[in-house]
């Protein structure tokens, strides 16, 4: 009987180099560079990846265009518009969808950095808030009550960042929160958050310092002076998170320090002085899970640990690091559990989960140090995250809820690819990464290959290869005597019947002692 050595499976789905790996559940994960937008060792540095309609839009750089707006429709990448014509940079960013159009901030020398609109076909500047060559630098674009709110600089003799809105016809200032006096005319609205039909944010009116404000379509009012004492006394409210019909946030008071606060839209109050006296508990990473508000905080005794508030009682979830701080962060709800990164003082920073009763280490990816899980992203019913190990460097990993496996090794071996800006688009996980660990930053994608190997069985002097695929596709089995050799067809085109998942197979009756095999879609 002939001995068959099944050395490798290669899947060709695109006219591009694709890396294939088995996921923790036996499925095949495919990874490829979407395009080498800036060929050579210096990449295009894609950033601000954002899904708009049926496309992925992002900012990227080429020598010919500078940093401009690009689009990917699932097949082709194209320059949407060279806003700052030639090699200049328009620096598009701050994307938000409003009434079916994409709004963002962009720069060109004649009008400065202003508000732009893309409707899927055309790009236009919608307003010039800071006239002539001045820049209004619109940011924190937020939709509320069929209007687009943002912070912008109207360009007086001093910086004048205030709250503005756009209604598809005109841009108007909602309120001049900081009077036009002093060395800076700006209130700097920050953290714009819609809650119960109103807009909440931090701003400085020049009298009370940075405090909690509330705005409607026509005006803005100081909701609470949490840290009284004049212009130099600020509470710096931030991390706004809605929970049980209230808005929660971190704020500072000179008596209590930085603690957890709440507002019902009328009044603001401190939830608890978790770290007693003027000491601070610094609540952050506020995340709603299982009918409670979870966050990182410290009571001054247990270090920075995972806490929760159910609307009535504030309690320590788990003292993960008994001798120090676990610093739980990147809190993400997946599969009815709360996943996060934490340091128990023994394993370093690793992936943890909380099931509503117990907090437990998912896996110790880097036994010799920290794996630093980050960029936790739900994709295809799994939790993907970026982590570092000595053997793989900084790469994508996948967790099905219990089992963790390497999802992609873009910079093979111990090199780093440093994935950034992940976004789920059209059945793929898109992101920016570098395959040389230094400068070759380009757009990449991960997806589940449209088939799964189910069995490889000997049948006499042959073998039967079976795989699960999707009805309506056409597959061809190919082979080569060497992995870098010419692959030739073993099978005729195999048309998969039906429209759902289907299992098909091919029996190899050839006599070659060893082969490399692949499945292709013509």
DSSP 4: P
Q: Please report the DSSP string for 446-496 in residue order.
A: EEE-S-EEEEEEEETTEEEEEEEEETT-EEEEEEESSTTS--EESS--EEP
pLDDT value at residue 460: 75
Judge contact between 57 and 95, C-beta under 8 A.
yes
Judge contact between 149 and 203, C-beta under 8 A.
no
Tokens of 424: 């789920």
pLDDT value at residue 8: 32
Q: How many CB atoms lie within 10 A of CB 41?
A: 10
Q: Which residues contact 263 (CB under 8 A, 6 or more apart)?
A: 200, 212, 223, 224, 246, 247, 249, 269
pLDDT value at residue 94: 97
Tokens of 189: 């609205």
Closest CA to 492 of 465, 517, 514, 474: 474
Judge contact between 138 and 150, C-beta under 8 A.
yes
pLDDT value at residue 484: 59
Q: What is the rounded distance in angstroms from the CA atom of residue 470 to the CA atom of residue 472?
A: 6
Q: By three-state DSSP, how is residue 108 classified?
A: strand
Strands 5-12 and 514-520: parallel
Q: What is the rounded distance in angstroms from the CA atom of residue 291 to the CA atom of residue 200?
A: 23
Q: What is the rounded distance in angstroms from the CA atom of residue 432 to the CA atom of residue 323?
A: 37
131 vs 90, 109, 252, 319, CA distance in Å?
17, 12, 38, 55
DSSP 411: S
Q: What is the rounded distance in angstroms from the CA atom of residue 505 to the CA atom of residue 482?
A: 23
Q: By three-state DSSP, how is residue 327 classified?
A: coil
Q: By three-state DSSP, how is residue 448 classified?
A: strand
Tokens of 342: 């934490």
Judge contact between 58 and 93, C-beta under 8 A.
no
Judge contact between 423 and 50, C-beta under 8 A.
yes
Q: By three-state DSSP, how is residue 181 classified?
A: coil
158 vs 150, 153, 186, 220, 347, CA distance in Å?
19, 9, 8, 21, 52
Strands 337-343 and 514-520: unpaired
Tokens of 283: 């609540």
What is the torsional sign of CA 185, 191, 192, 193? negative
pTM (two decimals)? 0.85
Token look-up 């900081």 returns 178
Q: What is the rounded distance in angstroms from the CA atom of residue 258 to the CA atom of residue 265?
A: 21
Judge contact between 110 and 133, C-beta under 8 A.
yes
Domain boundaries, the chain: 457-520
Give the chain's count of helices (H) and strands (E): 0, 45
Tokens of 377: 């992203």
From the first residue on, what is the mean pLDDT of each consecutive set of 10 residues in the chain (522 residues)? Answer: 28 35 56 90 95 97 97 93 96 98 97 97 96 94 97 89 97 96 92 98 97 97 97 96 98 98 98 97 98 98 97 97 97 98 98 97 97 97 96 95 91 95 94 95 86 75 76 78 74 78 74 63 68
| Per-residue burial over 73-95, b = 16 or more CB atoms within 10 Å of its CB, e = otherwise | eeeebeebbbbbeeebbbbbbbb
Judge contact between 248 and 268, C-beta under 8 A.
no
Judge contact between 494 and 474, C-beta under 8 A.
yes
Would you state the torsion angle of the CA atoms of residues 385, 390, 393, 397, taken in this order, to the nearest 10 degrees?
-20
Would you state the torsion angle of the CA atoms of residues 386, 389, 392, 396, taken in this order, to the nearest 10 degrees?
-10
18 vs 165, 195, 439, 520, CA distance in Å?
45, 44, 20, 12
């Amino acid at each position: 009987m002939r001995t068959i050595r099944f050395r490798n499976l290669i899947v060709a789905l695109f006219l591009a180099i694709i890396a294939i790996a088995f996921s923790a559940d036996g499925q095949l994960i495919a990874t490829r560079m979407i395009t080498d937008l800036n060929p050579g060792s210096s990449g295009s540095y894609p950033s601000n990846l954002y899904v708009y309609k049926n496309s992925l839009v992002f900012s990227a750089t080429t020598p010919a265009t500078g940093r401009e707006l690009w689009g990917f429709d699932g097949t082709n990448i194209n320059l949407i518009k060279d806003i700052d014509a030639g090699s200049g940079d328009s620096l598009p960013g701050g994307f938000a969808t409003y009434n079916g159009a994409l709004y963002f901030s962009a720069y060109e020398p004649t009008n400065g950095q202003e508000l732009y609109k893309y409707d899927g076909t055309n790009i236009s500047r919608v307003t010039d808030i800071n006239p002539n060559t001045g820049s209004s630098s619109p940011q924190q674009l937020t939709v509320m009550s069929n209007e687009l709110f943002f912070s912008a600089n109207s360009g007086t003799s001093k910086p004048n960042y205030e709250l503005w809105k756009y209604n598809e016809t005109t841009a108007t200032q909602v309120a001049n929160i900081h009077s036009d006096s002093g060395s800076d005319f700006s209130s700097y609205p920050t953290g714009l958050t819609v809650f119960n039909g109103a807009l909440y944010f931090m701003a400085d009116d020049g009298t009370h310092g940075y405090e909690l404000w509330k705005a409607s379509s026509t005006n803005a009012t100081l909701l609470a002076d949490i840290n009284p004492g004049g212009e130099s006394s600020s509470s710096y409210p931030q991390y706004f998170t809605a929970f049980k019909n209230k808005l929660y946030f971190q704020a500072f008071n000179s008596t209590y320090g930085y603690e957890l606060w709440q507002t019902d839209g009328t009044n603001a109050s401190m939830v608890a002085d978790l770290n007693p006296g003027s000491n601070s508990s610094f609540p952050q990473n506020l995340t709603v899970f299982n009918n409670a508000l979870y966050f990182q905080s410290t009571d001054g005794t247990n270090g920075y640990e995972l806490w929760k508030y159910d609307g009535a009682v504030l309690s320590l979830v788990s003292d993960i690091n008994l001798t120090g701080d676990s610093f739980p962060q990147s809190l993400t709800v997946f599969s009815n559990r709360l996943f996060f990164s934490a340091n128990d003082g023994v394993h370093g920073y690793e992936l943890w989960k909380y099931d509503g009763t117990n907090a437990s280490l998912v896996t110790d990816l880097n036994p010799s140090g920290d794996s630093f899980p980050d960029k936790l992203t739900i994709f295809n019913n799994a939790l993907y995250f970026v982590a570092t190990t000595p053997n793989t460097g900084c790469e994508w990993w996948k967790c099905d809820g219990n089992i963790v496996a390497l999802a992609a090794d873009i910079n093979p071996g111990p090199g780093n690819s440093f994935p950034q800006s992940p976004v789920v688009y059209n059945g793929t996980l898109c992101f920016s990464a570098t395959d040389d660990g230094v400068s070759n930053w380009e757009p990449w994608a991960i997806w589940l290959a449209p088939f799964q190997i189910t069995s490889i069985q000997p049948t006499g002097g042959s073998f039967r290869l079976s795989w699960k695929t999707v009805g309506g596709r056409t597959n061809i089995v190919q082979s080569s005597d060497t992995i870098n050799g010419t692959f030739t067809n073993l099978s005729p085109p195999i048309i998969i019947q039906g429209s759902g998942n289907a299992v098909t197979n091919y029996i190899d009756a050839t006599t070659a002692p060893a082969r490399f095999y692949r499945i292709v879609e013509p």
